[in-house]
């Protein structure tokens, strides 16, 4: 856990006293055994007693009990807990962390108790350990165990579901958005399928930049390419400068361009790198929480570059590539559901998919299980002819949010690390794009059109 467990002990006490709605979720699982600090144990024991005796709890009640039974020093400690400021932390974030804290403490206590019994040779008392451990692992504050379909609550939930729209993060490429219900959907994993060297990173970094320009917080995690290289690609796209000539830009021009975007964009893009084959979804979850704790950064979308070189949260000696990659995809999708955001990644094609112009789901390398778990799978093809034309052919291979048989053509500028609508002057980006950004993209479109007409390389920067 990234935050001191004693902090969450105090947060639980604060919630129990100040929030009756949250108290009802916590009280059924409340026990002093979960707490480490003696002062917290005493306060919790008094809370439990008050709840049992009076079925009510207030700041004044608890303060009176502490002073009369334990003295003013403990009451002063209790007052310091009530002063903790949680206004900057989302409630769901706090509850999720309290739940994690509880679960970890339950498992820890079970392990310590089992070790003590083994030391005393009381192995007969370990018979219930598997079921106790399972209970600890499945622990949750959530008490929703089903809703009666014909009840008023069931009726209201269904009505709200039927009249609600998925939260989406538009890609900024209309040709794609039109086929996938407006963009990448919350609580989903979207996967680009392409052979080696066909631009999976180019596509994801280009889309990440589009998201940033539309004031979305973006987290880009790379496992294979250095984060500075990803930043360089995004900068080339954003500044409309050939990637090979970025180093020739003077410091003053570089600063002015960054300043222009910094003033126009209120969102953030964070790029981080981790070594290949060392990171799983549990680590990413912890990293995202750490970003919030230290930088108050909460991503609207996450890019993982790429899925096939991650590791699973759990491994087995019986694992093969199929089961391992399927499990990684399952865990990544669970991560998107935990944070209520879309996650975008990519996978390689197998040998059969490397030279085909008609990708299918069974062209995914190593594990068709990825296709089973993915919500959206988009195949990307670039034949020699398409490469000459500066285009990608995209094919929707699986789509839980619309038609799964769509095909689209998009432009690609490898010098600028950009994908774009071929009719770019009519489909610049989204309507809420800051004017300074739209102007830059429009200028890019005019440059690209000019070079096609005159068949020469573009003027790369001023």
Is 25 inside a domain boundary? yes
Least confident range of 99-113, 270-284, 322-336, 417-431: 417-431
Residue 198 confidence (pLDDT) above 80 = yes
The parent domain of residue 183 ranges over: 168-454
Q: Supply the Cα-derived Rg of the chain in whole angstroms.
A: 27
Question: Minimum mean pLDDT among 12-16, 246-250, 434-438: which range?
Answer: 434-438
pLDDT at 448: 40
pLDDT at 77 over 90: yes
pTM: 0.64
Question: Do 334 and 442 share a domain, yes or no?
Answer: yes
What's the CA gap between 443 and 440, in Å, rounded? 5
At 273, which CATH number? Answer: 3.40.50.300
Considering its fold, how many domains does the chain have in total?
Answer: 2
Neighbours of 344 (CB within 10 A): 29
Question: CA-CA distance, 149 to 142, in Å (whole number)?
Answer: 19
Q: What phi and psi, each to the nearest 5 degrees, are found at residue 280?
A: -120, 180
The DSSP string of 94-160 is: HHHHHHHHHHHHHHHHHHHHHHHHHHTT-GGGGTTHHHHHHHHHT--S-------TTSHHHHHHHHH
- pLDDT-based confidence at 128, cuts 50/70/90? low
Q: Which residue did the predictor score with more confidence, 366 or 389?
A: 389
Tell me which of 141 and 386 has the higher pLDDT.
386
pLDDT in tens, 395-414: 999 998 877 778 999 999 99
* 309 shares a domain with 350: yes
In this predicted model, what pLDDT tens digit does every residue of 87-96 receive, in sequence order? Answer: 777 777 777 7
Q: Which helix (H) or strand (E) holds 33?
A: none
Instruction: Tell me which DSSP letter residue 390 carries.
Output: T
The residue with greater pLDDT, 42 or 430, is 42
153-177 average pLDDT score: 86
- Select the more confidently predicted residue: 21 or 412: 412
Instruction: Write down the pLDDT at residue 411.
Output: 95
pLDDT confidence tier of residue 367, bands split at 50, 70 and 90: low
Are 175 and 127 part of one and the same domain? no
- Decide if 149 is inside a domain: no
Residue 395 backbone phi and psi in degrees, to 5: -135, 125
Given a contact cutoff of 8 angstroms between Cβ atoms, the answer to whether 187 and 332 are in contact is: no
CATH, residue 96? 1.10.860
Residue 413 DSSP SS3: strand
What is the pLDDT, as a whole number, of residue 456?
33
Do 331 and 205 share a structural domain? yes
Which of 137, 157, 186 is the last residue in one of the domains?
Answer: 137
């Amino acid at each position: 856990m990234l935050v001191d467990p004693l902090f969450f002990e105090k947060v639980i006490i604060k919630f129990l006293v100040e929030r009756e709605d949250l108290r009802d979720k916590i009280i059924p699982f409340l026990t002093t055994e979960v707490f480490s600090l003696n002062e917290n144990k005493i306060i919790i024991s008094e809370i439990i007693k008050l709840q049992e005796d009076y079925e009510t709890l207030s700041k004044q009640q608890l303060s009176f009990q502490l002073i009369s039974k334990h003295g003013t020093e403990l009451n002063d400690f209790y007052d310091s807990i009530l002063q903790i400021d949680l206004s900057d932390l989302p409630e769901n974030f706090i509850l999720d962390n309290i739940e994690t804290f509880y679960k970890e403490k339950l498992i820890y206590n079970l392990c310590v108790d089992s070790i003590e019994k083994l030391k005393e040779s009381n192995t007969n008392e370990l018979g219930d350990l598997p079921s106790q451990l399972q209970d600890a692992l499945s622990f949750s504050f959530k008490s929703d165990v089903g809703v009666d379909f014909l009840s008023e609550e069931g009726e209201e939930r269904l009505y709200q579901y039927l009249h609600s729209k998925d939260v989406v993060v538009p890609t900024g490429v209309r040709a794609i958005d039109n086929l996938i219900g407006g963009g990448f959907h919350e609580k989903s994993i979207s996967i680009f399928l392409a052979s080696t060297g066909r631009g999976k990173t180019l596509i994801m970094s280009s889309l990440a930049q589009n998201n940033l320009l539309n004031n979305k917080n973006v987290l880009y995690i790379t496992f294979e390419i250095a984060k500075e290289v990803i930043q360089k690609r995004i900068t080339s796209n954003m500044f409309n400068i050939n990637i090979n000539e970025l180093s020739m830009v003077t410091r003053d021009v570089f600063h002015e361009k960054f300043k222009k975007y910094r003033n126009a964009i209120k969102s953030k893009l964070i790029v981080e790198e981790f070594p290949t084959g060392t990171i799983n979804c549990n680590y990413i979850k912890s990293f995202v929480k750490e970003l919030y704790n230290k930088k108050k950064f909460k991503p609207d979308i996450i890019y993982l570059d790429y899925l096939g070189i991650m590791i699973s949260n759990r491994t087995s000696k019986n694992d093969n590539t199929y089961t391992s990659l399927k499990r990684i995809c399952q865990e990544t999708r669970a991560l998107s559901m935990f944070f209520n955001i879309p996650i975008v990644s990519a996978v390689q094609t197998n040998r059969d998919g490397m030279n085909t112009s008609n990708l299918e789901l069974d062209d995914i390398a190593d594990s068709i299980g990825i296709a089973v778990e993915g919500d959206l799978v988009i195949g990307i093809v670039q034949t020699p002819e398409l490469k000459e034309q500066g285009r990608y052919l995209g094919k929707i291979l699986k789509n839980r949010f619309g038609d799964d048989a769509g095909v689209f053509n998009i432009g690609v500028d490898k010098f600028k690390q950009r994908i774009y609508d071929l009719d770019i002057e009519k489909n610049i980006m989204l309507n809420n794009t800051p004017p300074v950004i739209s102007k830059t993209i429009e200028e890019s479109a005019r440059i690209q059109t000019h070079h096609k007409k005159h068949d020469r390389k573009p003027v790369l920067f001023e």
